[in-house]
Amino acid sequence: MGKEYLMIPGPTPIPEEVARAMSTEMFNHRGPRFKELIEQLTAELKKIFQTEGRLFILTASGTGGMEAAIVNFLSPGQRIISLTNGSFGERMAQIAEIYGVQVERLASEWGEPLPYDELEKRLREDARGEIKAITVVHNESSTGMMNDLALISRLRGSHPALLLVDTVSSMGAVDIPVDEWGIDVCFTGSQKALMLPPGLAIISVGERAWARMADSGMKRFYLNLATAQEFLDIGQTPFTPALSQMVAMKKSLELYFSEGRERCYARHRRMAGATRAAMRALGLELLVGEKEASLTVTAVKKPEEIDISRLRAVMREDFGVEIAGGQGKLQGKIFRLGHLGAVTEMDVIVAIAALEMALARLNYPVSLGQGVKAAQEVILAG
Amino acid sequence: MGKEYLMIPGPTPIPEEVARAMSTEMFNHRGPRFKELIEQLTAELKKIFQTEGRLFILTASGTGGMEAAIVNFLSPGQRIISLTNGSFGERMAQIAEIYGVQVERLASEWGEPLPYDELEKRLREDARGEIKAITVVHNESSTGMMNDLALISRLRGSHPALLLVDTVSSMGAVDIPVDEWGIDVCFTGSQKALMLPPGLAIISVGERAWARMADSGMKRFYLNLATAQEFLDIGQTPFTPALSQMVAMKKSLELYFSEGRERCYARHRRMAGATRAAMRALGLELLVGEKEASLTVTAVKKPEEIDISRLRAVMREDFGVEIAGGQGKLQGKIFRLGHLGAVTEMDVIVAIAALEMALARLNYPVSLGQGVKAAQEVILAG
């Protein structure tokens, strides 16, 4: 027998109590019990988003939230800037293009910092406000890079472009003060730091974005947030929602707030620091620099001699630890360790120990225990 | 203490084993375990749909499936016929209009049979094949009417119009041979006859519709079925799916097939027959005629003296039985009893007994036990 450790960027493991809550009996989604539930969840999620704006829970994957951010607030023919340095940033640009937006990509290589200087320059040049929005993925889980939202927010300054932000793999795990940073639209998914199974997207909308909705010439129905607001006003959703995830969310938010936001952020910082220290101690090369390192996902370049699928197979089969490979152009080049949601420092130690043993089994020269030691030191330093 | 009986058209109650399966731990949706799961579910769902065509499982409400049926197979400016006699038929027409389709409604009053003669006439007149599709809701749960799909299929005959069919509240409960009837696109939701929580839409696509996909000028991303096919080819979904519902579906399909399709259909016929017989025995008026009566939802006109919300409240609070009111223009005029999915004849008897007592408590003249007796007779007649 062996325990299983899910150390991928998502879906993340769910706490036992949340799993049990998923077994909820069904009930009327147009009745008083649901009204109380959605009102409570909405209010609590706003605390995590640190927003007093609007917030909606959609029955969809995180990508449904991404599409909602595009189709509700942009118009065909409008010009936007898409900051891209990974597969999810690229996806956001692609959705906008599909819906007829003129996307100007300010791109960096996957794993490189965004071209902040270019962004500043383009916004400064745009005196007539032709750039209607900026899209960015806060935490590029494809590369383990955390883009600098605070800086982007400052660079945007008083420019009228909306800031549309993907925080799928960071919201809740990292401090993202949506209102303070003027993030106009911000979305996440249930299966990451919120410690729930996949199936829900959560999206916040500030008043500036909301006012643009009426002008959007884009077509939408399932993801129409105006309809979502009409129904939220009477404590409902327009369409039958994923009730089980919503009932379980009540439990997961209770766990979240009993740890507390600050302590949760600190735990994620420790897990990321421990993981990175361990990789360095083992002589493995990290994909992204210290300053931009993600606090929820760590990407590691593979040693020449190692085949990623074999490494993943040994870790899974011999030690019960599931890690992720690379996506898109990074496939076969990196492996990724997820450390977000209901994951603890001790799980990180397990993953590092398993990685050491798997490398040894694949005849890669590794000092057993050295990665674990480095992680322990980070954890002890707190 | 009291048990609760959910007798609305959906979400429907879920069996205990399915509820327990919803507590599944999380796992990698891009790994071998998921591949095996999605391949098994897809194959089994095709048996329920009676199709050898394509079939996709989407993370969305049933309405997501409805939108997928429109945006993947139609083009802006095309002309279609939308058959409408209830709120869901109207929704399907509305989605098509939003996406720029020229919708010709062939409508009947809510609760009246569709204008089949007009459909025949319009298709006969359309020698040039300008009508590109026909949309219809098989089971209008808003009115408790089951539209005659077999007849519509015959009327369509060799006309090239695609048949796009909503079977959200009937697929699985009623015999719908998708391939035999030439249904080009057919969708349902997880929370009805499939005895699962909401969160998944299931959509089948025949080759004729698939061939039109390439011509569709509609914009789509989250609901793009071409992408869904690409990923299904490698045992995945494009975006993180609602894993819990998919794991639980394995269990619910096991239960479904252990009862067997024919016996499941027969159970639904008995429950519908028993409910209708009971209403007549109590002197209550049914909204739709015998021939068009839904086998999964029964709509009952309210007696003059009775207020629907009070009736529903007494049934819920005093007897634990949740029934539905009317939707849209039927709000306040009818109540609806759902009898689909994991509901038995004995649950129907409970609901009828509760209705009798609730009516008595509201001082409506009712012969206690008369509705139950009529239902028992139908059940015994088998």
* A365 and A285 in a common domain: yes
Task: Indicate whether B382 pLDDT > 90.
Answer: no
The nearest alpha carbon in chain B to A191 belongs to B240
- A281-307: string of b/e by CB count within 10 Å (b at 16+)? bbebebbbeeebbbbbbbbbbbbeeee
Q: Convert the pLDDT of each residue in A205-236 to its tens digit.
A: 999 999 999 888 899 999 999 999 999 999 99
Whether B281 contacts B236, CB under 8 Å: no
Tell how far CA A208 is from the center of its chain. Answer: 23
* B308 and B223 in a common domain: no
* A230 and A182 in a common domain: yes
Q: Convert the pLDDT of each residue in B105-114 to its tens digit.
A: 999 999 999 9
Task: Indicate whether A2 pLDDT > 80.
Answer: no
Chain B residues touching residue A98 (CB < 8 angstroms): 219-221
**A334 φ, ψ (degrees, to nearest 5):** -135, 160
* B109 and B156 in a common domain: yes
Q: Convert the pLDDT of each residue in A268-301 to its tens digit.
A: 999 999 999 999 999 999 999 999 999 999 999 9
Domain stops at, among B257, B286, B320: B257
Chain B residues touching residue A19 (CB < 8 angstroms): 23-25
What is the band of A267 on the pLDDT scale with cuts at 50, 70, 90? Answer: very high
The nearest alpha carbon in chain B to A76 belongs to B219
Q: Could you say which of B23, B197, B220 has the minimum Cβ distance to residue A26? A: B197
Asked if A234 reaches chain B (Cβ–Cβ under 8 Å), the answer is: no
* B317 and B241 in a common domain: no
Shortest distance, CA A218 to any CA of chain B (angstroms): 9
Asked if B296 reaches chain A (Cβ–Cβ under 8 Å), the answer is: no
User: Can you give the CATH number for the domain in which A27 is found?
Assistant: 3.40.640.10
Angle at A252 between CA A246 and CA A256, to 5 degrees: 140
In chain B, the N- to C-terminal Cα span, in Å, equals 33
What is the number of alpha carbons within 13 Å of residue A229 lying toward its C-beta? 14
Per DSSP, the three-state class of A285 is strand
Whether B86 contacts B294, CB under 8 Å: no
Chain B residues touching residue A13 (CB < 8 angstroms): 25-26
Contact A23 B20 (CB under 8 A): yes
pLDDT at B1 (0 to 100): 63
* B298 and B211 in a common domain: no
Q: What is the DSSP string of A287-312?
A: SS-TTTB-SSEEEEEPPTT--HHHHH
The nearest alpha carbon in chain B to A24 belongs to B19
Give chain B's mean pLDDT: 97
Per DSSP, the three-state class of B334 is strand
pLDDT at B216 (0 to 100): 87
What whole-number distance in Å separates Cα of residue B202 and Cα of residue B66? Answer: 10
What whole-number distance in Å separates Cα of residue B172 and Cα of residue B259? Answer: 12
The residue-averaged pLDDT of B15-24 equals: 98
What is the number of alpha carbons within 13 Å of residue B47 lying toward its C-beta? 13
* A103 and A23 in a common domain: yes
* A234 and A207 in a common domain: yes
Domain stops at, among A257, A275, A294: A257
Q: Could you say which of B6, B98, B243 has the minimum Cβ distance to residue A197? A: B243
In the DSSP assignment, the letter for residue A325 is -
Per DSSP, the three-state class of A373 is helix
Q: Could you say which of A198, A223, A240 has the minimum Cβ distance to residue B198? A: A240
Chain A residues touching residue B23 (CB < 8 angstroms): 19-20, 22-23
Contact A189 B11 (CB under 8 A): no
Q: What is the DSSP string of A147-216?
A: --HHHHHHHHTT---EEEEE-TTTBTTB---TTTTT-SEEEEETTSTT---S-EEEEEE-HHHHHHHTT-
Domain stops at, among A257, A280, A314: A257
* Rounded alpha-carbon distances, angstroms, from residue A103 to A74, A80, A137, A185, A223: 11, 5, 15, 18, 21
**Lookup: tokens for B164:** 């796009």
Q: Convert the pLDDT of each residue in A92-132 to its tens digit.
A: 999 999 999 999 999 999 999 999 999 999 999 999 999 99
* Closest to A166 measured CA to CA, from A192, A198, A130: A192
Domain count, chain B: 2
Shortest distance, CA B16 to any CA of chain A (angstroms): 8
What whole-number distance in Å separates Cα of residue A95 and Cα of residue A218? Answer: 12
Asked if B59 reaches chain A (Cβ–Cβ under 8 Å), the answer is: yes
* B184 and B140 in a common domain: yes
In chain A, the N- to C-terminal Cα span, in Å, equals 33
**Lookup: tokens for B283:** 């002197």
* A246 and A265 in a common domain: no
* A205 and A97 in a common domain: yes
Q: Which long-range contacts (CB under 8 A, 24 or more apart) does A126-129 make?
A: A126/A159, A129/A159, A129/A160, A129/A161
Strand order of the sheet with strand B200-205?
Answer: B54-59, B200-205, B185-189, B162-166, B131-137, B79-84, B102-107
Alpha helices by DSSP H, chain A: 16-21, 32-49, 62-71, 87-98, 116-125, 149-156, 207-213, 225-232, 243-259, 261-281, 308-319, 345-361, 370-381
* B251 and B112 in a common domain: yes
The residue-averaged pLDDT of B131-159 equals: 98
Contact A28 B322 (CB under 8 A): yes
Q: Convert the pLDDT of each residue in A329-339 to its tens digit.
A: 999 999 999 99
Q: Convert the pLDDT of each residue in A15-72 to its tens digit.
A: 999 999 999 999 999 999 999 999 999 999 999 999 999 999 999 999 999 999 999 9
In the DSSP assignment, the letter for residue B330 is G
**Lookup: tokens for B290:** 């015998």
pLDDT at A382 (0 to 100): 84
Cβ within 8 Å of B, A 318-337:
322, 324
What whole-number distance in Å separates Cα of residue B80 and Cα of residue B86? Answer: 18
Q: Convert the pLDDT of each residue in B166-199 to its tens digit.
A: 999 999 999 999 999 999 999 999 999 999 999 9
What is the number of alpha carbons within 13 Å of residue B261 lying toward its C-beta? 14
Per DSSP, the three-state class of A21 is helix
What is the band of B126 on the pLDDT scale with cuts at 50, 70, 90? Answer: very high
Q: Convert the pLDDT of each residue in B289-326 to its tens digit.
A: 999 999 999 999 999 999 999 999 999 999 999 999 99
What is the band of B2 on the pLDDT scale with cuts at 50, 70, 90? Answer: confident
User: Can you give the CATH number for the domain in which A376 is found?
Assistant: 3.90.1150.10
Chain B residues touching residue A251 (CB < 8 angstroms): none
What whole-number distance in Å separates Cα of residue A51 and Cα of residue A76? Answer: 28
Q: What is the DSSP string of B61-118?
A: -HHHHHHHHHHTT--TT-EEEEEESSHHHHHHHHHHHHTT-EEEEEE--TTSPP-HHH
pLDDT at A1 (0 to 100): 63
Q: What is the ipTM of this complex?
A: 0.96
Shortest distance, CA A1 to any CA of chain B (angstroms): 16
- By residue range, what is the domain housing residue B124? 16-257
Asked if B202 reaches chain A (Cβ–Cβ under 8 Å), the answer is: no
